[in-house]
Amino acid sequence: MTEESRIADVLRQRIRSGELPRNSRLPTQHALAEEFGVNRTTIRQALTVLEREGYLTARGRGAPAVVTSPAAEAPRPADVELAERIALAFRSEHVAIDAFSLTTETLNAALARPLLAISAGDLAPRSIAVRVIVPRPEGTLAFPRLVADPGDPRPLERLRRISATFCGSLRHQLLSLAERGLVPEVSVQIRTVDVTPLLKLYLLNGTEALTGYYQVVARPVGFGAEELEMYDVLGLSSMVFRSSADKDRRDEQEAAFVAESQRWFESLWSTIARPVTLG
């Protein structure tokens, strides 16, 4: 990677995270050159890249660049995008995560980095509140199910085991932060609903929503010593779309989508969702 590409990546991430909000001015080229240890020509090349992508306005002679609305970016797999966004969410003093998904597998994986950072003393949030809604595996779900025999109970039994494992691990890892004195307040609540989730939704700190569709595929899945051909979903690799209600939002419609997604989650949470007891 060239120096200008590396610098453009750093500045792009600062804009996407809101560290450099819309309409703010970048530091001067001289200040950026000192920060990154390069000459001003390299800085100008990096800024030109960001101008072409729509992150910065054209610069006047000697004037610092101004941040514009971030360019729309292609969606990324859930495990990649969620991990990055949750890592940024954990920089807040009070962390709040609401999730609706088939299991908590993707969420568990995304939490690994910030939990390690808290253990190392690099992050120190004052509170963490996590609420999760997953389907009730004992209910009737459209998937997973065998391709040849929709009534076979083994796919749902497998889902029950997976869900219990990941939900239990999620609860244990987060509550242990409070038990070890690393985070003063930690709350983990898990509820179930009698629906088959056709999409996944993650709401972070009330300011952004990540949504993705579950694509149903036929694939062989191990169950004990057997291999079963079933209709299932690949949650980790499903693409997610990010919407923001914060200062990096592209428009008011995007902010309205985040607010409506939060209201939708609250409507499930406060009505038909039922607490689950983990052993």
Structural domains in the chain, sorted by start: 3-52 (1.10.10.10), 76-275 (no CATH)
Q: What is the pLDDT of residues 107-161, one digit of tens each?
A: 999 999 999 999 999 999 999 999 999 999 788 899 999 999 999 999 999 999 9
Q: Which bin fits 141, alpha (ψ -120 to 50), beta or left (φ > 0)?
A: beta
Indicate the pLDDT class of residue 265, thresholds 50, 70 and 90: very high
Structure tokens at 127: 């509170």
Q: Name the residue with higher pLDDT: 265 or 9.
A: 265
**What per-residue confidence (pLDDT) applies to 145?**
94
Indicate the pLDDT class of residue 20, thresholds 50, 70 and 90: confident
Indicate the pLDDT class of residue 279, thresholds 50, 70 and 90: low
Looking at residue 247, its amino acid is K
Average confidence (pLDDT) over 235-253:
82
pLDDT of residue 86 exceeding 90:
yes
**What per-residue confidence (pLDDT) applies to 118?**
96
**What per-residue confidence (pLDDT) applies to 69?**
60
Contact predicate 96/152, CB 8 Å: no
Please provide the average confidence, as pLDDT, over all residues in the chain. 89
The percentage of residues in the chain with a pLDDT greater than 90, rounded to a whole number, is 60
**What per-residue confidence (pLDDT) applies to 64?**
81
Q: What is the pLDDT of residues 23-67, one digit of tens each?
A: 888 888 889 999 999 998 999 888 888 887 778 886 566 678 888
pLDDT of residue 73 exceeding 90:
no
pLDDT of residue 72 exceeding 60:
no
Compute the distance between CA of residue 225 and CA of residue 220 in angstroms, rounded to an integer: 13
Phi, psi dihedral angles at 13 (to 5 degrees): -65, -35
Compute the distance between CA of residue 152 and CA of residue 149 in angstroms, rounded to an integer: 6
SS (H, E, C) the chain: CCHHHHHHHHHHHHHHHCCCCCCCECCCHHHHHHHHCCCHHHHHHHHHHHHHCCCECCCCCCCCCEECCCCCCCCEEHHHHHHHHHHHHCCCCEEEEEEECCCCHHHHHHHHHHHHHHHCCCCCCCEEEEEEEEECCCCCCCCCEECCCCCCCHHHHHHHHHHHHHHHHHHHHHHHHHHCCCCCEEEEEEEEECCCCCEEEEEECCCEEEEEECCEEEEEEEECCEEEEEEEECCCCCEEEEEECCCCCCCHHHHHHHHHHHHHHHHHHCCCCEECCCC
Indicate the pLDDT class of residue 17, thresholds 50, 70 and 90: confident
**What per-residue confidence (pLDDT) applies to 137?**
75
Nearest to 201 by CA among 104, 87, 72: 104
Distance separating the N- and C-terminal Cα atoms of the chain: 49
Indicate the pLDDT class of residue 207, thresholds 50, 70 and 90: very high
Nearest to 131 by CA among 97, 94, 170, 172: 97
pLDDT of residue 21 exceeding 90:
no
